[in-house]
Amino acid sequence: MLSEPAHHTSQTSAALQYQYDLVCIGFGPASLAIAIALHDREIKARVLYIERQRTFVWHAGMLLPNARMQISFLKDLATLRNPRSKFTFVNYLKSKNRLVAFTNLSTFLPLREEYNDYMSWCASHFEQDVQYGHETICVSPAENRMGPIQAWRVLSKNVETNETNTVTARSVVIAIGGKPRIPPALSTGGLDCRIIHSSLYSKAAPSILTDASKAHNVAVIGGGQSAAEIFNDLQSRYPNSYITLYTGASALKPSDDSPFVNEIFDPERVDMFYDLPTESRLKTIWSDKATNYGVVRPELLDRMYENMYHQRLHEPDQSKWQYKIVAWREVVGFETCSDRRIRLKLKNTSKGEITMSDSSFDLAVLGTGYERNGHETLLEPARHLFRESRYAVERNYKVKFRKDAVASDCGIWLQGCCEDSHGLSDTLLSILAVRGGEMVDAIFPMQSPGPGKSGCAKL
């Protein structure tokens, strides 16, 4: 059942009242999975979702033509928890009259733009509970002189008017996703920015390279999936341009999505990982990085290599190629030329030498990934309540507070920033359906299904 907005309540001597049972900061896939789990289990709660973007959109800058998902559609926002939910990808297809046509594709991997449409369709069912266009500034404890903390104050601002707003909640989920990782030496700022992060690519690139027929010179920096997709997309978007991809590794490497390896993303693996000693967790993450970090889907690598071979077939002189992949090169700085183009400072990762790029570029796109530490800034006003100096969480993602500092039915939960404690799947889509149900169980234990009950939605 969808929640209804709550009205202000007054403070009593028994406890500090709050407007909402739950406030979710960020309304991306993680919070959306929670909203769906609440709906499926018919939990009546006062819930508010605060989202900085003006509408629901998932990785808008990377919704490239023909880019496919990297996980099965069965790992949607509901199926693995409740196959009978109205919010399964299959039911979405049925509602859009595309179910039969999709089956004819004989694939488990939908287009990324279709999956974004699926999640947008899910999000549309909860619009009355979402405060779009608001950026959360901080979460602070609502101090209670009678005893432990009973509620939290969530301060946000309207991104257009800068008007601030404060709400109170018994529980808070922080699911703000990652922020672009931009090496300090490549951070330009300013209005005429010729260096952009991959998260802005599909919108920012056309505004900088306005003439699609012109022979632009573009650099792509990185060796992972995003960098490879952008390198490939630029070739069709700007067919007369010269594109160079720089990677600090010895070569572009394939992601490992073989069946046994893929089991590390199974929901039950989270328990196993969480119970490991800290040193074993670090070793496990390092050994499994080839599944997700700095790697490219094999089919895309094959396509890229075929394109490179086609160049070799028609032009033996590599210096004249339109598309180049340069290994062993880390971009460590840049210089702005008189024509406002940029030259890149390159470090040879095998020898340590630093040189400048031979040519200047109209644009450089950073496929340098994301940082997931935004929760630290949001929670600074509550830091004195933490049990440990770091942001440690329980198995159910609840932040660990000092004993008796916070009431047992009041808490803060983290989503998408617990990779070190919950494993590589923490930042991915694979476990969202099951994790959404776990979050509901943790936050609303008295209303969650008991033993022998499935919690499936009534359709």
Segment 399-428 mean pLDDT: 95
Cα gap 422→274, rounded to integer Å: 5
Q: Exposure of 352 by Cβ count < 10 A (0-12 exposed, 13-18 middle, 19+ buried)?
A: exposed
Q: What is the Cα–Cα distance from 227 to 212, expressed in whole angstroms?
A: 20
pLDDT in tens, 70-115: 999 999 999 999 999 999 999 999 999 999 999 999 999 999 999 9
Identify the burial level of 361 via C-beta atoms within 10 angstroms of its C-beta, where 0-12 means exposed, 13-18 middle and 19 or more buried.
buried
Note the pLDDT of residue 449.
65
Q: Give the pLDDT band (50/70/90) at residue 31.
A: very high
Q: What is the CA radius of gyration of the chain?
A: 24
Confidence of residue 8 (pLDDT cuts 50, 70, 90): very low
Kindly give the pairing relationship between strand 195-197 and strand 20-25: unpaired
Give the number of other Cβ atoms within 10 Å of residue 159's Cβ.
14
* Other beta carbons less than 10 A from residue 350's beta carbon: 11
Sheet holding 342-348, edge to edge: 329-336, 342-348, 354-356
Cβ neighbours for 117, distance < 8 A, ≥ 6 positions apart: none
Query: Which tokens belong to 35?
Result: 């909203």
Mean pLDDT of 324-344: 94
Query: pLDDT confidence of 11, banded at 50, 70, 90?
Result: very low
Grade residue 391 by pLDDT with cuts at 50, 70 and 90: confident
Residues 6+ apart with CB under 8 A from 189: none
Q: What share of the chain is helix, strand, coil (3-state, %, to 5)?
A: 30, 20, 45
Integer Cα distance of 175 and 285 in angstroms = 21
Which run of H or E residues covers position 341?
none
Neighbour tally for 145: CB within 10 Å? 5
According to DSSP, the residues that pair with 136 across neighbouring strands are 156
- State the pLDDT confidence band at 5, using cuts at 50, 70 and 90: very low
Q: For residue 12, what pLDDT band results from cuts at 50, 70 and 90?
A: very low
- DSSP code per residue over 360-394: -BSEEEE---EE--HHHHHTGGGGGGBSSSS--B-
Q: Which amino acid is at 245?
A: L
Closest by CA to 70, choosing from 316, 304, 256, 245, is: 256
**Per-residue tokens: 150:** 């009973």
Residue among 326, 447, 319 at smallest CA distance from 47: 447
The confidence band for 1, taking pLDDT boundaries of 50, 70 and 90, is very low
Nearest to 374 by CA among 338, 319, 415: 415
Residue 91 backbone phi and psi in degrees, to 5: -70, -35
Supply φ then ψ for residue 447, to 5 degrees: -110, -5
Q: 58 Cβ partners below 8 Å, 6+ apart?
A: 28, 29, 115, 116, 119, 120
pLDDT band, residue 452 (cuts 50/70/90): very low
Q: What is the pLDDT of residue 448?
A: 64
| 422-449 pLDDT, tens digit each | 999 999 999 999 999 999 999 999 776 6
pLDDT tens-digit series, residues 267-294? 999 999 999 999 999 999 999 988 989 9
Least confident of 142-156, 313-327, 411-425: 142-156
Closest CA to 416 of 437, 401, 431: 431
Residue 244: what pLDDT? Answer: 98
φ, ψ of residue 286 in degrees (nearest 5): -65, -45
pLDDT at 147: 87
**Contact 35/200 with Cβ under 8 angstroms?**
no
Residues 162-173, mean pLDDT to the nearest whole number: 97
- What SS3 class is residue 37? helix
Q: Which SS3 state, helix, strand or coil, does residue 425 take? A: helix
CA distance 204 to 238: 14
Q: Which 3 state secondary structure label does DSSP give 136?
A: strand
**Torsion angles phi and psi, residue 434, rounded to 5:** -70, -45
